[in-house]
């Protein structure tokens, strides 16, 4: 559903800044050979803007060559990673989504492993140059501020360093509090186009996953501050926390499960050591109902990822619990969440940041959850100093 309901919210701004409104042809003519093009993250991906760029390249096949498309996580359209556009674009990803996984494993695109908390600084120092930022925002408010909505994470940094900023203005994008506000004066071109923003739904759980969720929930105590990753197992864990009291939220990802805990009052942030009373997150992936919940909600703060994922910030939370899932654990205790054998599957993301931060926190603990591969799915649980544990299913 549209969250910003004015009939013609852009008309006033079109009159005030006519130079920022142009045809797609004129806008994309400012992108040149060899440019480094940043694309907004996850559910904040500007789908229409990406497709318009591809249409422009298809119509002008000799205009853009050897450009690099930089993205964290592609959930929506990713035609720039297709082989037929290999002369025009080379895709670099910092986290692998299913739409680019095949291209990366075939060597048609690149994966750069990195802690997400380090990315903004690399943008600011131009170690990773950004020439063009393609983003999606809410319509401007009466003060002329756009909101980056569901994806503040590294998008704010990319916008601040880019030479050219092109924004798809979408009435479906929620307006969020925190670091995600962007004055209209800092955007070079505005392309209004309303469409439902991307949704993320975890895979359906099964009996094993529900058991894991139940076991892990027992490790979370009333008053803990939690971070929870994405996927069917983390969703099952969140579903089992509904009887807890006074949980705090400090997490990179705000999911449907976390939003539900906030709605029913289980998570009220009343016991947090810092940012008391506030849910702190960096990006949101979920359903339209969750997007409606975060819209203009002052109890939520969307911060840049170099804040949410900074281990030293995370460590300031007493009773911090970092909960994530992994794909494999070997006999030495090494865990991987980014690859299956020789196949790149996802990425480092923020898991390591939160594990380090939680281990440094007073009474903090880290939890890694996975399906058991032991005989008859027996439990495998190990602890290190009583603080780092793996929880799996048991029959």
Determine contact, residues 25/56, Cβ cutoff 8 Å. yes
pLDDT at 380 over 70: no
The residue from 143, 164, 192 where one domain ends is 192
**Model confidence band, residue 103 (pLDDT cutoffs 50, 70, 90):** confident
The answer to whether residues 372 and 328 belong to one domain is yes
H helix or E strand, kind and range, residue 262: helix 256-263
The answer to whether residues 385 and 360 belong to one domain is yes
Q: Which two tokens stand for residue 68?
A: 């690099």
The residue from 162, 192, 222 where one domain ends is 192
Mean pLDDT of 220-246: 92
Residue 79: which CATH number?
3.40.1080.10
The answer to whether residues 113 and 249 belong to one domain is no
- Count the residues in the chain: 395
Least confident of 86-95, 127-136, 272-281: 86-95
Mean pLDDT of 376-386: 45
Residue 299 falls within a domain, yes or no?
Answer: yes
User: Does the active-site annotation cover 252?
Assistant: yes
The answer to whether residues 21 and 124 belong to one domain is yes
The answer to whether residues 117 and 255 belong to one domain is no
The residue from 192, 221, 243 where one domain ends is 192
The answer to whether residues 324 and 359 belong to one domain is yes
Range of the domain at 350: 207-391
The answer to whether residues 170 and 245 belong to one domain is no
The answer to whether residues 170 and 114 belong to one domain is yes
Mean pLDDT of 105-134: 91
pLDDT at 394 over 70: no
pLDDT at 339 over 60: yes
- What's the distance, CA 32 to chain centroid? 28
The answer to whether residues 144 and 253 belong to one domain is no
Domain count, the chain: 2
Determine contact, residues 283/42, Cβ cutoff 8 Å. yes
The answer to whether residues 272 and 329 belong to one domain is yes
Residue 77 falls within a domain, yes or no?
Answer: yes
The pLDDT value recorded for residue 376 is 52
Residue 199 falls within a domain, yes or no?
Answer: no
Residue 90 falls within a domain, yes or no?
Answer: yes
Beta pairing class for 225-228 and 248-249? parallel
Residue bearing the bigger pLDDT, 350 or 182: 182
Residue 2 falls within a domain, yes or no?
Answer: no
The pLDDT value recorded for residue 52 is 94
The pLDDT value recorded for residue 96 is 78
- Give SS3 for 284: strand
**Which tens digit of pLDDT belongs to each residue from 288-319?**
999 999 999 999 999 999 999 999 999 999 99
Tell me the pLDDT of the chain averaged across its residues: 88
d(CA 353, CA 157): 19
**Nearest CA among 130, 149, 131 for reference residue 139:** 149
Residue 201 falls within a domain, yes or no?
Answer: no
d(CA 146, CA 233): 35
Name the active-site residue from 45, 68, 208, 252. Answer: 252
- What's the distance, CA 3 to chain centroid? 20
The answer to whether residues 227 and 271 belong to one domain is yes
HSE at residue 26, side-chain half, CA atoms within 13 A, is 9
Most confident of 11-25, 152-166, 189-203: 152-166
The pLDDT value recorded for residue 384 is 39
The answer to whether residues 146 and 249 belong to one domain is no
Percentage with pLDDT > 70 across the chain: 92
The residues, any chain, with a CB within 8 Å of residue 351's CB and separated by 6 or more, are 229, 322, 324, 337
**Model confidence band, residue 378 (pLDDT cutoffs 50, 70, 90):** low
Residue 343: which CATH number?
3.30.750.70
């Amino acid at each position: 559903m549209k969250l910003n309901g004015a009939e013609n919210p852009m008309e006033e701004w079109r009159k005030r800044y006519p130079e920022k409104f142009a045809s797609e042809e004129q806008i994309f003519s400012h992108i040149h050979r060899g440019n480094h093009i940043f694309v907004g993250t996850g559910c904040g991906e500007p789908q229409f803007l990406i497709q318009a760029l591809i249409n422009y390249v298809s119509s002008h096949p000799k205009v853009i060559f050897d450009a690099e498309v930089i993205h964290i996580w592609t959930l929506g359209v990713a035609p720039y990673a297709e082989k037929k556009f290999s002369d025009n674009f080379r895709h670099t990803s910092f986290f692998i989504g299913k739409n680019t996984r095949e291209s990366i494993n075939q060597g048609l695109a690149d994966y750069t492993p990195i802690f997400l908390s380090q990315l903004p600084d690399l943008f600011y120092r131009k170690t990773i140059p950004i020439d063009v930022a393609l983003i999606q925002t809410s319509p401007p408010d009466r003060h002329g501020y756009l909101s980056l909505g569901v994806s503040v994470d590294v998008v704010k940094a990319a916008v601040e360093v880019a030479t050219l900023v092109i924004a798809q203005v979408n009435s479906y994008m929620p307006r969020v509090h925190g670091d995600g506000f962007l004055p209209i004066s800092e955007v070079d071109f505005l392309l209004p186009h309303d469409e439902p923003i991307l949704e993320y739904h975890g895979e359906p759980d099964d009996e094993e996953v529900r058991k894991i969720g139940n076991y892990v929930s027992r490790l979370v105590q009333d008053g803990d501050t939690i971070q929870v990753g994405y996927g069917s197992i983390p969703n099952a864990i969140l579903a089992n926390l509904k009887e807890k009291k006074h949980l705090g939220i400090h997490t990179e990802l705000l999911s449907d499960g976390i939003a539900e805990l906030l709605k029913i009052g289980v998570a009220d942030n009343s016991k947090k050591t810092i940012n008391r009373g506030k849910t702190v997150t960096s990006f949101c992936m979920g359903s339209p109902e969750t997007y409606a919940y975060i819209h203009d909600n002052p109890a939520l703060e969307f911060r840049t990822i170099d804040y949410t994922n900074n281990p030293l910030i995370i460590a300031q939370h007493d009773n911090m619990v970092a909960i994530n899932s992994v794909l494999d654990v070997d006999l030495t205790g090494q865990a991987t969440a980014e690859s299956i054998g020789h196949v790149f599957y996802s990425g480092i993301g923020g898991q390591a940041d939160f594990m380090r931060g939680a281990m440094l926190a007073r009474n903090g603990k880290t939890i890694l959850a996975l399906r058991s591969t032991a005989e008859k799915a027996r439990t495998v649980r190990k602890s290190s100093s009583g603080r780092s544990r793996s929880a799996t299913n048991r029959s």
